[in-house]
Amino acid sequence: MAVEAIEDHPWERVHTVGDFHDRPRSGASDFDGTPYFYAGVFDESADEWLNRYVLTPLPLDVFEKVMEKWALWKRWRDAFDRGETTMETFPGFSEDRPRMKQLSAEIAHAHELLQTSGLSFQATGHFRRADRDVRPPRPGGVMAPWIVRWSRVS
Looking at residue 136, the DSSP 8-state letter turns out to be S
The answer to whether the beta carbons of residues 53 and 123 sit under 8 Å apart is: yes
- Output 36-45 pairs: Cβ under 8 A, ≥24 positions apart: 37/111, 37/114, 38/125, 38/148, 41/122
- Number of other CB atoms surrounding residue 73 within 10 Å: 20
The pLDDT assigned to 123 comes to 95
Q: What pLDDT is stored for residue 59 in this prediction?
A: 95
Number of residues assigned to the chain: 154
The segments of the chain whose pLDDT lies below 70 read 1-8, 133-141
Output the pLDDT for position 49: 86
**Which of helix, strand or coil describes residue 43?**
strand
E strand or H helix that includes residue 146:
strand 146-152
CB 137 within 8 A of CB 143: no
Q: Report the pLDDT value the prediction gives residue 143, as an integer from 0 to 100.
A: 78
Whole-model pTM: value is 0.85
What pLDDT does residue 91 have?
84
The SS3 assignment for 130 reads coil
Q: Are residues 27 and 14 in contact, defined by beta-carbon separation less than 8 angstroms?
A: yes
**According to the model, what pLDDT value does residue 22 have?**
80
